[in-house]
Chain A
Amino acid sequence: MIPPAFEYARPASVDEAVRALADAGEEAKVLAGGQSLLPLLRLRLAFPELVVDVGRIPELRGVREDGEALAIGALTTHHDVIHDPLVRRYAGLLAGATATVADPAVRHRGTLGGSLAHADPAGDLPAVALALDAELVAVGPAGRRTIPAREFFLDYLQSALSPDELLVEVRIPKTEGWGFHYEKFQRVAQAWAIVGVAALVRRADGHIAEARIGLTNMGSTPVRATAAERALAGADGPEAVARAAEAAAEGTRPSQDLSASPEYREHLARVLTRRAVLTAGGMG
């Protein structure tokens, strides 16, 4: 379909973008790569009065090292994230999971910041950001603030960003040396994950010293499988991992849709957590 009519602004800087957003109140939408927003507009599920296109703000693009973290510009495309040597070295989970997002053409346009700000619990990267203990940096009229991923995803398609704030950077603590794997189950190629599991594993002396598990599509926001994480600490082999993974769905509230019932999603969370951790821990 043809999108509804809107006004269009193409700011050249973050300050200009924030001013445009502040002036428009709640009626503006930020356009980055457009791979979530344009389908919503085409299906007439969104009716912004103003679209603020931040796609030409060069300072929002790129990856740099900043002490113990990577700072990834919000406008960095999935394609660039996947191929970035710093991301591959220090945040392999992000590179690996991003390579499973949609398809090559979408990954050329879609951005890391856009997919996090969209806050779709079925999106792959919110759960990955959660597992990586990422921090999201936003700029608004009152200045800059840093939001931990755990506090960023509030509800279905709702983030902690206020309407006049722009997500500018994603900070990811380095996890060099950790094992990682993103395991997702989808009905057909390029479909949304019915459930996805992002696993990070730090091994020591032949057992799992620490595991972090982020779950995709197991509720109205991405969630951490905290019970499974606790149970995985100390696991020393595939059987111990399988036992711990039984706790993966604890505390989740998965939805019912055409693809799956809540019970089926809980089952998937357990199975995929086992697989993801075994692969991440080099035990598979």
Chain B
Amino acid sequence: MTHIKVNVDGTPYEDEVEPRLLLAHYLRDRLGLTGTPIGCDTSNCGACTVELDGTTVKSCSVLAVQADGSTVTTVQGLAKDGEWTALQHAFHERHGLQCGYCTPGMIMAARDLLRENPHPTSDEVREALEGNLCRCTGYQNIVRAVLAAAGQQDGPGRQDASGRQVGEEVTA
């Protein structure tokens, strides 16, 4: 067992953990912070994305012992006094989710993008989210939500013959 100290969503914790314990399992099973889901075993899906000392990581690809001494922010630490962040509001308003499984990872990854690039194009949003898989939405509304959170106009988009929304015209 190895002794670790971590600060998660503003709360300090100290624990004895097995070295093989993944950060994702530590958050979920030890701390009960199940807002961070685990979607795959291959580092592909990004559902478990959290912030570790200020940058995004896939918490299934970090050992809890590697987070010793660090600060972790999960999706559960974003809202302040029950008030959602602009990004969370945007996902809600733009319907940026269907089943919701990928949403915590999407929001954490989008947050990382907006910190580095506050006014991304829709292509830049797509690139920034390449490590996060969504199997429901086809990504269109996720991209719209991130652009909306960045304060960009949500354009009308094009419609195909049947009136369905197509294309990428969501940039300002």
Query: In the bound complex, do residue B46 and residue A103 qualify as a contact, i.e. CB atoms below 8 Å apart?
Result: yes
Q: Is A264 an interface residue (CB 8 A)?
A: no
User: Given A51, A103, A109, which contacts B19 in the complex, CB threshold below 8 Å?
Assistant: A51
Query: In the bound complex, do residue A102 and residue B131 qualify as a contact, i.e. CB atoms below 8 Å apart?
Result: yes
- Chain B residue with Cβ nearest A53: B66
Q: Least Cβ distance of B110 to chain A in Å?
A: 11
Q: Is the interface of B mostly helix, strand, loop or mixed?
A: mixed
Given contacts A3-B20, A35-B43, A39-B61, contact A108 B131 (CB under 8 A): no
Q: Is B144 an interface residue (CB 8 A)?
A: no
Counting chain B residues whose Cβ lies within 8 A of the other chain, the interface size class is: 20 to 34
Q: Mark A1-43, 1 if CB is under 8 A from B, else 0.
A: 1111111101000000000000000000001001100110111
Given contacts A5-B18, A6-B19, A103-B46, contact A34 B61 (CB under 8 A): yes
Q: Least Cβ distance of A120 to chain B in Å?
A: 14
User: Given A1, A43, A51, A109, which contacts B62 in the complex, CB threshold below 8 Å?
Assistant: A109
Q: Is A55 an interface residue (CB 8 A)?
A: yes
Within 8 A of B (CB), among A108-164: 108-109
Q: Is B11 an interface residue (CB 8 A)?
A: no
Determine the distance from Cα of A39 to Cα of B22 in the docked complex, in whole angstroms.
11
Query: In the bound complex, do residue B20 and residue A4 qualify as a contact, i.e. CB atoms below 8 Å apart?
Result: yes
Within 8 A of A (CB), among B50-70: 55-58, 60-63, 65-66
Q: Is A105 an interface residue (CB 8 A)?
A: yes
- Chain B residue with Cβ nearest A5: B20
Query: In the bound complex, do residue B19 and residue A105 qualify as a contact, i.e. CB atoms below 8 Å apart?
Result: no
Query: In the bound complex, do residue A2 and residue B66 qualify as a contact, i.e. CB atoms below 8 Å apart?
Result: no
B18 to chain A: which residues have CB within 8 Å? 5
Given contacts A2-B20, A108-B57, contact A42 B62 (CB under 8 A): no
B49 to chain A: which residues have CB within 8 Å? 105
Q: Is A190 an interface residue (CB 8 A)?
A: yes
A106 to chain B: which residues have CB within 8 Å? 43, 58, 61, 131
Q: Mark B19-53, 1 if CB is under 8 A from A, else 0.
A: 11010010000000000000001111010010000
Determine the distance from Cα of A177 to Cα of B133 in the docked complex, in whole angstroms.
39
Given contacts A35-B43, A42-B41, contact A105 B63 (CB under 8 A): no
Determine the distance from Cα of A106 to Cα of B44 in the docked complex, in whole angstroms.
10
Q: Is B112 an interface residue (CB 8 A)?
A: yes
Q: Is A284 an interface residue (CB 8 A)?
A: no
Q: Least Cβ distance of A38 to chain B in Å?
A: 5
Q: Is B72 an interface residue (CB 8 A)?
A: no
Q: Is A79 an interface residue (CB 8 A)?
A: yes
Determine the distance from Cα of A2 to Cα of B25 in the docked complex, in whole angstroms.
9
Determine the distance from Cα of A31 to Cα of B61 in the docked complex, in whole angstroms.
12
Q: Is A104 an interface residue (CB 8 A)?
A: yes
Q: Is A204 an interface residue (CB 8 A)?
A: no
Determine the distance from Cα of A103 to Cα of B2 in the docked complex, in whole angstroms.
30
- Chain A residue with Cβ nearest B49: A105
Q: Is B147 an interface residue (CB 8 A)?
A: no
Q: Least Cβ distance of A174 to chain B in Å?
A: 28
- Chain A residue with Cβ nearest B59: A105
B65 to chain A: which residues have CB within 8 Å? 8, 10, 53
Query: In the bound complex, do residue A105 and residue B41 qualify as a contact, i.e. CB atoms below 8 Å apart?
Result: no
Query: In the bound complex, do residue B62 and residue A103 qualify as a contact, i.e. CB atoms below 8 Å apart?
Result: no
For this complex, 8 residue pairs linking A to B, each with C-beta atoms less than 8 Å apart, are A5-B19, A38-B43, A39-B42, A41-B20, A102-B43, A105-B46, A106-B61, A109-B58
Given A2-B22, A109-B57, 18 other A-B residues pairs in contact with their CB atoms under 8 A? A2-B25, A5-B19, A6-B19, A31-B63, A31-B66, A35-B43, A38-B60, A41-B20, A53-B65, A102-B43, A103-B46, A103-B131, A104-B128, A104-B131, A105-B49, A108-B55, A108-B56, A190-B131
8 A-B pairs with least C-beta separation = A103-B131, A8-B19, A189-B130, A108-B55, A3-B20, A105-B56, A38-B61, A103-B130
